[in-house]
Amino acid sequence: MGVNGITGVDQTTYYEPTTTAKVAEATEDKTAKNAEAKDTNKAAVYEKSDNVAASTTNKTYKKNEAVVNMLKNDLESRTNQLKDIVSQMISKQGNAIGQADDIWSFLASGNYTVDEAAKVKAQEEISEDGYWGVKQTSQRILDFANALTGGDPSQIEKMRDAFKKGFDEATKAWGKELPDISKQTYDAVMKGFDEMAEKNKTETAEAADTGEIEA
């Protein structure tokens, strides 16, 4: 599963971003500071929401283009690498991939023999610390959601719904129930959204108690 279907300069951070996201954030921060020297009027991507904390503190949230683009490019590159591995394996067995989505239906069919090199590479990629493993994949999705919304807490549920829709579409593309690793990734992402929502709820309550916002 990929990030398709996320951080502003003054974003609210709900979790520890990946190294990729941190590098992009640093780039975005530097670019934004240079822009501010010319124009101090920042434009928010999203209108002020009904969220109490956001509206009463006049906090704005801006889409982090640097993180979004870096995550997209990184995902595209790694997906192409995966397709190359599968294509080479298929060609050795007298098969060929037609449309882009066929790779997933082919893998789901199980009608192929995995050579040792491809097997080792696949095991590495889906391992606990692998690129397609639960930890990295779920974190990329959360990074992407956060960068798209600029950390706007009022958008958490919209991002959650978008993720659910993407998961359903991935299931359809696979043609049957997704593997356990996909289900584990789904659970990890949902947990991440829960933690974002809970942290926002806690911070809003604390701000109300200290009089920073109206309860």
Number of domains observed in the structure of the chain: 1
- Its domain, for residue 150, covers 61-209
Asked, for residue 33, whether it belongs to a domain, the answer is no
Res. 9: pLDDT tops 50: no
Asked, for residue 7, whether it belongs to a domain, the answer is no
Asked, for residue 17, whether it belongs to a domain, the answer is no
Asked, for residue 156, whether it belongs to a domain, the answer is yes
Q: Residues 44-62: pLDDT tens digits?
A: 333 333 443 444 456 788 9
User: What's the confidence (pLDDT) of residue 5?
Assistant: 46
Q: Residues 141-189: pLDDT tens digits?
A: 999 999 999 999 999 999 999 999 999 998 988 888 899 999 999 999 9
Asked, for residue 80, whether it belongs to a domain, the answer is yes
Please name which of 104, 118, 202, 95 lies closest in space to residue 153, comparing C-alpha atoms.
202
As to burial, measured by CB atoms within 10 angstroms (0-12 exposed, 13-18 middle, 19+ buried), residue 87 is middle
Alpha-carbon distance of 202 to 14, in angstroms, equals 12
Asked, for residue 18, whether it belongs to a domain, the answer is no
Asked, for residue 44, whether it belongs to a domain, the answer is no
User: What's the confidence (pLDDT) of residue 139?
Assistant: 96
